[in-house]
């Protein structure tokens, strides 16, 4: 099973990003655009995992705790690694400091189960598109620059999910397997 751990995003944020994606998709079909229903904040990509490890993963994830829910503000647009050589178009996230701690605790719990630690530092973002070749059409660059400081909404949550990803010719299909409450209830 191909798995990852993520935060779901609110429908209002999804709708705001969806309107942006609709306008930029009209400019170019060159990058592989992420479907709006698949947008999420990845905390840890687990990769291919044997089914017999699922119970241990669920148990380890249920032990992750924070004293407070995480708070996120979705804003800004940019490229990894940069505009000159784009591989990913992203929407940025400003997060409370405990998001990094929660992600680190998930990373440590999974490492104990033999799932390798991610080599890159945790950088919360929403992937909007992936570029097959590092080429940025001028019209797309201009539209992204015009929307670079755009606000998309916010989220306060106390839960993350273990999600299965099935790769299909039409794109990835996600199924939430389990939700985990890691902090006191959100009021």
Distance CA 110, CA 107 (A): 5
- SS3 state of residue 171: strand
Distance CA 17, CA 100 (A): 23
Residue 187 pLDDT grade (very low, low, confident, very high; cuts 50, 70, 90): low
The CATH code that applies to domain 2-181 is: 3.90.1140.10
Q: What pLDDT, on the 0 to 100 scale, is given for residue 132?
A: 86
pTM assigned to the model: 0.90
Catalytically annotated residues: 40, 125
Residue 181 bridge partners (DSSP): 159
Domain residue ranges of the chain, discontinuous segments joined by + = 2-181
- Each residue of 23-82: pLDDT tens digit? 888 888 788 899 999 999 999 999 999 999 999 999 999 999 999 999 999 999 999 988
Residue 90 pLDDT grade (very low, low, confident, very high; cuts 50, 70, 90): very high
Calculate the average pLDDT of the chain: 93
């Amino acid at each position: 099973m191909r798995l990852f751990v993520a935060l779901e995003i609110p429908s209002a944020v999804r709708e705001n990003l969806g309107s942006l994606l609709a306008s930029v998709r009209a400019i170019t079909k060159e990058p592989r655009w992420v479907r709006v229903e698949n947008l999420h904040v990845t905390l840890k990509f687990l990769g291919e995992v044997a089914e017999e490890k699922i119970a241990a993963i669920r148990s380890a994830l249920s032990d992750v705790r924070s004293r407070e829910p995480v708070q996120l503000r979705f804003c800004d647009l940019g490229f990894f690694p940069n505009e000159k050589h784009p591989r990913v178009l992203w929407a940025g996230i400003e997060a409370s400091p405990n998001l990094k701690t929660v992600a680190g605790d998930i990373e440590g719990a999974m490492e104990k189960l033999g799932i390798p630690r991610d080599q890159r530092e945790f950088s919360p973002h929403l992937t909007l598109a992936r570029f097959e070749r590092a080429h940025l059409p001028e019209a797309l660059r201009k539209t992204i620059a015009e929307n670079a400081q755009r606000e998309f909404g916010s989220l306060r949550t106390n839960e993350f999910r273990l999600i299965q990803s099935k790769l299909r010719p039409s794109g990835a299909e996600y199924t939430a397997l389990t939700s985990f409450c890691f902090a006191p209830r959100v009021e």
